Amino acid sequence: MHAIHHTDQTLLPHPPAAVWDAIIDELNGKTTWWHPHNTHQPGPTPPDQPNGTTLTTVHPNGIGKPGPKLRFTSTTTDITPHRTLTQTHTGHFQGTTTYTLTPHHDGSHTLLSITFASTPRHWPKLLHKLTNLTSKHTAATQNALANLHHHLGTAK
């Protein structure tokens, strides 16, 4: 059983291919819609390929602000382009993140579901006991999804 197991969703007025590209760009560090809470750096194999990796740094207080930084490396374990991306992560969190894209309105919209199922490891275990990491994760993800709405609306 994971200490954090939560799904956040949003309906985006964009087709799955556009949403997929935005997710992959973010995991490759090309965009910043997950800021101010998460930054991403791609590994030697891109995250949209089997065994691709991404280093994620979580900045609970925001990028450039004092406070802890939590890091984990995600490895792509399951991928169906424009539909599903599952990454297994190790580091300060151990578990999985799954992005599920479901077409709506004849494919002109996408329901994006992000499921984070993870257990804090090392010193973040104490942080989880002292604070509600699930609510902090959800707040950061909801902020990122609002940023994604804006990013897709302004992307050319």
The burial of 150, by beta-carbon neighbours within 10 Å (0-12 exposed, 13-18 middle, 19 or more buried), is given as exposed
Instruction: Round to whole Å and give the CA distance between 10 and 93.
Output: 24
pLDDT of residue 44: 96
pLDDT of residue 123: 57
Tell me if residue 83 falls in helix, strand or coil.
Answer: coil
0.85 cut: is pTM over it? yes
Question: Mean per-residue pLDDT for 25-30?
Answer: 96
Q: Which domains does the chain have, with CATH numbers?
A: 4-154 (3.30.530.20)
Are the C-beta atoms of residues 92 and 70 closer than 8 Å to each other?
yes
Long-range Cβ contact pairs of 137-142 (< 8 A, separation 24 or more): 137/4, 137/6, 138/6, 138/8, 140/37, 140/38, 140/58, 141/8, 141/114, 141/116, 142/8
pLDDT of residue 100: 98
Query: Per-residue confidence at 138, pLDDT binned at 50, 70, 90?
Result: confident
Q: What is the mean pLDDT of the chain?
A: 90
pLDDT of residue 140: 86
24 or 6, which is more confident: 24
pLDDT, one tens digit per residue, over 108-130 is 999 999 999 998 887 555 555 55
Q: Where are the beta strands (DSSP E) in 21-80?
A: 38-42, 53-58, 70-80
DSSP alpha helix (H) spans, 47-132: 124-130
Query: Per-residue confidence at 1, pLDDT binned at 50, 70, 90?
Result: low
